[in-house]
A and B are shown apart, each in its own frame.
Chain A
Amino acid sequence: MGDMMAGLQFENNCEVGVFSKLTNAYCLVAIGGSENFYSAFESELADVIPIVKTSLGGTRIIGRLCAGNKNGLLVPHTTTDQELQHLRNSLPDQVVVQRIEERLSALGNCIACNDHVALAHTDLDKETEEIIADVLGVEVFRQTIAGNILVGSYCALSNRGGIVHPHTSVEDLDELSTLLQVPLVAGTVNRGSEVIGAGMTVNDWTAFCGSDTTATELSVIDSIFKLREAQPSSIVDEMRKSLIDTYV
């Protein structure tokens, strides 16, 4: 049942990754004028993981402000107490919600992570790095992607694969792949847009892409994230058991 939803729009905007955050354990969605966006997620994920409607710091660009995986969620210091409480209430208990004091508050742009490893903005505080490693349970690497320091914007990462900025050189691709231990490909989304992290959102069995995404791009996403064969329940079970070891 692994699937990919294409053709999503949040209030006529194709940048799905800006207004939503998808992980293996939960999904966050922004509050929009119409319920179409929410229902799209619901139709796919309703039985499997909780879908939480929220705002962060009063804004709707939640996908870019927070970073998280199945172990935890990091929110910026601009998050209000009510929002924090709402999140803590709605999310499953094993997910740790932590507000961090960090100068770079758009955590979604600065951190790209899956359940095992994370890439961080080179200028992130040492403290923040420790918190990331702690809360999310990942190994943190400070990296750039194609010379860009906003690693969260220019790559979309899941436990099975990842897409990076199209201008990444072959050597960089190899290096990142070795660090992240997943297959990577340079590609685009939303009809040639290079900002992949903002254009799509993905977990181990589903991906959501904006309406401008072409068939070619969809096939690339399909193949790299291995969405055809994925089953949600098996993955969720497997993760409870052990680490997945995949080599490039």
Chain B
Amino acid sequence: MSAMDQDTGMFKVQQTIGSVLCCKCGVPMPPNAANMCVNCLRSEVDITEGLQKSIQIFYCPECGCYLQPPKTWIKAQWESKELLTFCIKRLKNLNKVKLKNAEFVWTEPHSKRIKVKLTVQAEVLNGAVLEQSYPVEYTVRDNLCESCSRFQANPDQWVASVQLRQHVSHRRTFFYLEQLILRHDAASRAIRIQQVDQGIDFFFGNKSHANSFIEFLRKVVPIEYRQDQQLVSHDVKSSLYNYKYTYSVKICPICREDLICLPSKVASGLGNLGPLVVCTKVSDNITILDPRTLRCAFLDARQYFRSGFRSALTSRQLVKYFVFDVEAPVGEATVGGQKYALSYVQIARESDIGKMFYVQTHLGHILKSGDQALGYDIYSANVNDDEMEKYRLSVKNGLPEAILIKKCYDEQRERKKGKPRAFTTKKLPMEMDESRGARVDPEKMENEYEEFLRDLEENPELRFNISLYKNKDYQESETASMTDGEGAPTVPIEELLAELELSEEEEEGDDEEDMDE
């Protein structure tokens, strides 16, 4: 009965609560502030008086959203936490009592009723706190939200379109752009994407979406664009005009590995850069390298489009050479993170091994005798370029017979032929344009894509802004590690991202991310 209180050393008598009779119904109960049993108290006082018990909410059956007036539509699943929060928010007067608990009561989904059981607490009489639960019924009415109704009226409704074009004969730039766009989620708000000859069309529902897409493009490739608009409808009374906006975007036609003969004005503007230059990198500005002097220059979009020169020879015209002899480099330079070494080499074309050329090349650092290289055959090429002709006439010694561009790994690739790559890439949801006259040859596309992938393998700087995913089918084979000399360059496995199986969202990774399962 009595217990020693250890802490204070005081003698404390244990108190047992007695029981009194409820003053109304006479049932024995422990005493409380009102001295009435709970049932009697409940019958006396109703704390839910004045609270809303039934209310109407609007639901869009197309997109599954509920309306929060005046204009917001909130997406919520049936019987989810968001729906519960939304339902409670719609009730007025709920701040007079304290909300203890809320839960859904099961209703048939077709009944168009949602029932929520709320448990509230409030103070009654002389300090007794009473808890009571009561159901609230929500009547669900179907009402298409604005965007869905607009979409229903005209599914093809776009407000702004971006027509992206590059007037070259290959689609390499577009493959690369596709990967970039996927990585940065730039086209997430596009209603439709259509692939056309020499370009891609993007359709947006909003002018500002199109604008932000163009800003993104401007950061990754040199572009020039113009904007036009077309009147769709006109409300006379309120002077509201509805337009369709079209952006015509041109990407500069200079690509990587192109041979360019600069017009004299541009060459002198860049400090007398030898008119024959090679384009080494295209990002938001163009990097051109003079293979004779190992000097580099950068042209940004504005500078390029002022003169608008075109390349003399493109990568289609690359020819395979055998390298017989490489001399020691006479000069070295590191330009834009890339090392170059100037040296003289003896080469011959694969098609005509008898004819040997002795030329200068900037690839002295990677070429060894016995290698294969790709380069432009200026000796026998028929170049359709005014600048080139002017230069040919003006120069005393004649043009260089060949300019080597890159090393060729075809031999090593032979060994790996047919085996799947370690990585895969994702694709944008594009529609093919069947309606126009231009037929797109699927085999040509395949070859081009294969070359693009090879490009990716060879150039780590290209991979910088792209997400590559682990190929699930790829198995690391024992013989993959080459024992005899170097193999074809591949993407190191640390750069590959594991695919997220759960949802559409890509991880906003830093690129060189470790594999995470």
**A contact residues vs B (CB 8 Å cutoff):** 166-173, 186-188, 191-194, 214-217, 219-220
Complex Cα distance A170/B31, Å?
A: 12
Q: Are A217 and B16 in contact (CB under 8 A)?
A: no
Q: Are A171 and B26 in contact (CB under 8 A)?
A: no
Beta-carbon contacts of B15-44 to A below 8 Å, as 1s and 0s? 111111111111000010011100000000
Q: Are A214 and B16 in contact (CB under 8 A)?
A: no
B502 near A: Cβ within 8 Å? Answer: no
Residues of the B chain whose Cβ atoms lie less than 8 Å from the Cβ of A170: 15-18
Q: Are A171 and B14 in contact (CB under 8 A)?
A: yes
B240 near A: Cβ within 8 Å? Answer: no
Q: Are A188 and B17 in contact (CB under 8 A)?
A: no
In the complex, besides A169-B17, A193-B35, 20 extra interface pairs with C-beta distance below 8 angstroms are: A166-B35, A167-B31, A169-B15, A169-B16, A169-B18, A170-B15, A170-B17, A171-B14, A186-B18, A186-B20, A186-B31, A188-B20, A191-B23, A192-B23, A214-B24, A216-B24, A216-B25, A216-B26, A217-B23, A220-B21
Residues of the B chain whose Cβ atoms lie less than 8 Å from the Cβ of A220: 21
B1 near A: Cβ within 8 Å? Answer: yes
List 26 interface pairs A-B (beta carbons < 8 Å), by A numbering: A166-B20, A166-B35, A169-B15, A169-B16, A169-B17, A170-B16, A170-B17, A171-B13, A171-B15, A171-B16, A173-B18, A186-B18, A186-B19, A186-B20, A187-B20, A188-B23, A188-B35, A191-B24, A192-B23, A192-B35, A193-B35, A214-B23, A215-B26, A216-B24, A216-B26, A217-B23
Residues of the B chain whose Cβ atoms lie less than 8 Å from the Cβ of A215: 26
Pick from B1, B18, B34: contact of A192, CB below 8 A.
B34
Complex Cα distance A217/B23, Å?
A: 6
Query: A129 → chain B, closest Cβ, in Å?
Result: 24
Residues of the A chain whose Cβ atoms lie less than 8 Å from the Cβ of B16: 169-171
Complex Cα distance A165/B20, Å?
A: 10
Interface residues of A: mostly helix, strand, loop or mixed?
Answer: mixed
Residues of the A chain whose Cβ atoms lie less than 8 Å from the Cβ of B31: 166-167, 186
Residues of the B chain whose Cβ atoms lie less than 8 Å from the Cβ of A191: 23-24
Query: What count of chain B residues pass the 8 Å CB interface test?
Result: 19
Chain B 232-258 interface residues, beta-carbon cutoff 8 Å to A: none
Complex Cα distance A102/B15, Å?
A: 33
Residues of the B chain whose Cβ atoms lie less than 8 Å from the Cβ of A186: 18-20, 31
Query: B1 → chain A, closest Cβ, in Å?
Result: 7
- Among residues of B, the one whose C-beta sits closest to the C-beta of A169 is B15
Q: Are B18 and A168 in contact (CB under 8 A)?
A: yes
Complex Cα distance A93/B402, Å?
A: 146
Q: Are B26 and A219 in contact (CB under 8 A)?
A: yes
Complex Cα distance A92/B387, Å?
A: 142
Residues of the B chain whose Cβ atoms lie less than 8 Å from the Cβ of A169: 15-18
Complex Cα distance A187/B25, Å?
A: 13
- Among residues of B, the one whose C-beta sits closest to the C-beta of A165 is B31
Query: A46 → chain B, closest Cβ, in Å?
Result: 31
Complex Cα distance A192/B45, Å?
A: 14
Pick from B14, B18, B21: contact of A216, CB below 8 A.
B21
Residues of the B chain whose Cβ atoms lie less than 8 Å from the Cβ of A214: 23-24
Residues of the B chain whose Cβ atoms lie less than 8 Å from the Cβ of A172: 15
Chain B 201-230 interface residues, beta-carbon cutoff 8 Å to A: none
Query: B24 → chain A, closest Cβ, in Å?
Result: 6
Complex Cα distance A173/B13, Å?
A: 13
Known: A166-B31, A217-B23. A192 touches B36 (CB 8 A): yes
Query: B35 → chain A, closest Cβ, in Å?
Result: 4
Q: Are B23 and A216 in contact (CB under 8 A)?
A: yes
Q: Are A187 and B13 in contact (CB under 8 A)?
A: no
- Among residues of A, the one whose C-beta sits closest to the C-beta of B25 is A216
Query: B16 → chain A, closest Cβ, in Å?
Result: 4
Residues of the B chain whose Cβ atoms lie less than 8 Å from the Cβ of A188: 20, 23, 35
Complex Cα distance A219/B1, Å?
A: 31
Complex Cα distance A188/B25, Å?
A: 13
Which of B18, B23, B34 has the most A CB atoms < 10 Å from its CB?
B23
Complex Cα distance A170/B13, Å?
A: 11
Complex Cα distance A109/B259, Å?
A: 112
Q: Are A216 and B22 in contact (CB under 8 A)?
A: yes
Complex Cα distance A186/B35, Å?
A: 11
Residues of the A chain whose Cβ atoms lie less than 8 Å from the Cβ of B23: 188, 191-192, 214, 216-217
Query: A100 → chain B, closest Cβ, in Å?
Result: 33
Query: A188 → chain B, closest Cβ, in Å?
Result: 4
- Among residues of B, the one whose C-beta sits closest to the C-beta of A168 is B18
Residues of the A chain whose Cβ atoms lie less than 8 Å from the Cβ of B19: 186
Residues of the B chain whose Cβ atoms lie less than 8 Å from the Cβ of A187: 20-21
Residues of the A chain whose Cβ atoms lie less than 8 Å from the Cβ of B22: 216
Complex Cα distance A188/B32, Å?
A: 11
Residues of the A chain whose Cβ atoms lie less than 8 Å from the Cβ of B20: 166, 186-188
Residues of the B chain whose Cβ atoms lie less than 8 Å from the Cβ of A173: 18
Residues of the A chain whose Cβ atoms lie less than 8 Å from the Cβ of B35: 166, 188, 192-194
Complex Cα distance A219/B22, Å?
A: 12
Residues of the A chain whose Cβ atoms lie less than 8 Å from the Cβ of B26: 215-216, 219
Complex Cα distance A219/B36, Å?
A: 16
- Among residues of B, the one whose C-beta sits closest to the C-beta of A147 is B15
- Among residues of B, the one whose C-beta sits closest to the C-beta of A167 is B31
Query: B27 → chain A, closest Cβ, in Å?
Result: 9
